[in-house]
Amino acid sequence: MAVVESASLLSLAQEEVAAGIDQLFDSLIAVPADPRGRLYEAMRYAAIGGGKRLRPLLLRAAGDLFHVDRAISLRVGAAVEAMHVYSLIHDDLPCMDDDDLRRGKPTVHKAFDDATAVLAGDSLHALAFEWLCDPATHADPFVRAELCCELARAAGPAGMAGGQMMDLAAETSDFDLPTVTRLQQLKTGALIAFSVEAGAILARIPAEGRRPLRGYARDIGLAFQIADDIMDVEGDEALAGKALHKDEAAGKATFVTLMGLERAREQARLLVDQAIAHLGGFGEEAALLRAIARYVVERDH
Amino acid sequence: MAVVESASLLSLAQEEVAAGIDQLFDSLIAVPADPRGRLYEAMRYAAIGGGKRLRPLLLRAAGDLFHVDRAISLRVGAAVEAMHVYSLIHDDLPCMDDDDLRRGKPTVHKAFDDATAVLAGDSLHALAFEWLCDPATHADPFVRAELCCELARAAGPAGMAGGQMMDLAAETSDFDLPTVTRLQQLKTGALIAFSVEAGAILARIPAEGRRPLRGYARDIGLAFQIADDIMDVEGDEALAGKALHKDEAAGKATFVTLMGLERAREQARLLVDQAIAHLGGFGEEAALLRAIARYVVERDH
Closest Cβ–Cβ partner in B149, B161, B170 for A134: B149
Q: Residue A106: enclosing H or E segment and its boundaries?
A: strand A105-106
C-beta of residue A104 within 8 angstroms of C-beta of residue A240: no
Please list every residue in chain A whose beta carbon sits closer than 8 Å to the beta carbon of residue B99.
none
ipTM: 0.95
> Along the 301 residues of chain B, how does pLDDT read in single tens digits?
566 677 799 999 999 999 999 999 999 999 999 999 999 999 999 999 988 999 999 999 999 999 999 999 999 999 999 999 999 999 999 999 999 999 889 999 999 999 999 999 999 999 999 999 999 999 999 999 999 999 999 999 999 999 999 999 998 888 999 999 999 999 999 999 999 999 999 999 998 899 999 999 999 999 999 999 998 888 877 777 777 777 777 788 899 999 999 999 999 999 999 999 999 999 999 999 999 999 999 876 6
* pLDDT score for A6: 76
* pLDDT score for B57: 98
* pLDDT score for A10: 95
What is the nearest CA distance from A7 to chain B, expressed in angstroms? 36
Axis crossing angle, helix A287-298 with helix A211-234, rounded to the nearest 10: 20
* pLDDT score for A247: 76
* pLDDT score for B301: 61
What is the nearest CA distance from B9 to chain A, expressed in angstroms? 35
User: Rounded to an integer, what distance in angstroms lies between the CA atom of residue A130 and that of residue B155?
Assistant: 10
List the domains of chain B with CATH numbers: 3-298 (1.10.600.10)
* pLDDT score for B247: 76
State whether B129 and A152 contact (CB < 8 Å): yes
C-beta of residue B118 within 8 angstroms of C-beta of residue A118: yes
Closest Cβ–Cβ partner in B118, B156, B162 for A90: B118
C-beta of residue B159 within 8 angstroms of C-beta of residue A122: no
Closest Cβ–Cβ partner in B43, B165, B173 for A119: B165
* pLDDT score for A3: 61
CA A246 from centre of chain: 20
- Residue A119: Cβ within 10 Å count: 29
Give pLDDT tens digits for A86-139: 999 999 999 999 999 998 899 999 999 999 999 999 999 999 999 999 999 999
User: Rounded to an integer, what distance in angstroms lies between the CA atom of residue B296 and that of residue B273?
Assistant: 12
- Residue B194: Cβ within 10 Å count: 27
User: Rounded to an integer, what distance in angstroms lies between the CA atom of residue A121 and that of residue B79?
Assistant: 20
* pLDDT score for B275: 98
A212 three-class SS: helix
Give the dihedral sign, CA B33/B36/B40/B45: positive
Q: Residue A10: enclosing H or E segment and its boundaries?
A: helix A3-28
User: Rounded to an integer, what distance in angstroms lies between the CA atom of residue A167 and that of residue A107?
Assistant: 20
State whether A39 and B142 contact (CB < 8 Å): no
**With a cut of 50, which residues of chain A have pLDDT below it?**
none
C-beta of residue A180 within 8 angstroms of C-beta of residue A255: yes
User: Rounded to an integer, what distance in angstroms lies between the CA atom of residue B107 and that of residue A293?
Assistant: 44
